[in-house]
C-alpha cells in the first residue's frame, strides 16, 4: 500500500501535452495525484499495461476538495473507469486532482499507468 510518485514529461516540447507515468504499481497502491497546475489540460486519457494478476483492477479517481475525498471518474460513455485488462480510456471529468488506484490484484500485480493531458488550444493549433 504505497503512494507511487509519477514521472512527468512534456512530450510536446512546448508545454501543451504532458505524459504522466506511475510505474510498478501493486495491489493496494495509489498514485501520488496530479494537481491543480494541470487543470487547464482538459483533454485527458489514461492507459494501463502490465501484469494484472488475479482480479487486478486500476480505478481512475479524481478529487475536487483538495485531495481529501476521491471519486471514480468516468469515460466518454459515462462508465466508471475500472480497467481490468490492458487498455485506454478517455476521462470525461476535469478535476483538481487525478490519480490511479490499484483496487484489486494479487502478489503478481505490477501495473504501469500512463495519463496523457493536452491543453485544448493544442488541438486548435494555438
pLDDT in tens, 65-109: 989 999 999 999 999 999 999 999 999 999 999 999 999 999 999
User: Tell me, what's the pLDDT at 60?
Assistant: 98
> Quick one: cell of 125?
493549433
Question: 3-class SS at 66?
Answer: coil
Q: Show Cβ contacts of residue 84 under 8 Å, excluding neighbours closer than 6 positions.
A: 52, 55, 56, 57
Q: Which three cell numbers stand for residue 32?
A: 501520488
pTM (global) more than 0.95 = no
Rama region for 28: left / alpha / beta (φ>0; ψ in -120 to 50; rest): left
110 grid coordinates: 505490477
Sorting pLDDT into bands at 50, 70 and 90, what band is 124? Answer: low
Amino acid at each position: 500500500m504505497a503512494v507511487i510518485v509519477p514521472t512527468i514529461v512534456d512530450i510536446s516540447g512546448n508545454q501543451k501535452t504532458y505524459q504522466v507515468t506511475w510505474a510498478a504499481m501493486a495491489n493496494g497502491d495509489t498514485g501520488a495525484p496530479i494537481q491543480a497546475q494541470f487543470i487547464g489540460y482538459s483533454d485527458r486519457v489514461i492507459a494501463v499495461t502490465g501484469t494484472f494478476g488475479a482480479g487486478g483492477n486500476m480505478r481512475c479517481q479524481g478529487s475536487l476538495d483538495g485531495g481529501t475525498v476521491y471519486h471514480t471518474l468516468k469515460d466518454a460513455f459515462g462508465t466508471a473507469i475500472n480497467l481490468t485488462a490492458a487498455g485506454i480510456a478517455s476521462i470525461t471529468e476535469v478535476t483538481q486532482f487525478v490519480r490511479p488506484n490499484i483496487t484489486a490484484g494479487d502478489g503478481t500485480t505490477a501495473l504501469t499507468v500512463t495519463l496523457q493531458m493536452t491543453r485544448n488550444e493544442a488541438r486548435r493549433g494555438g
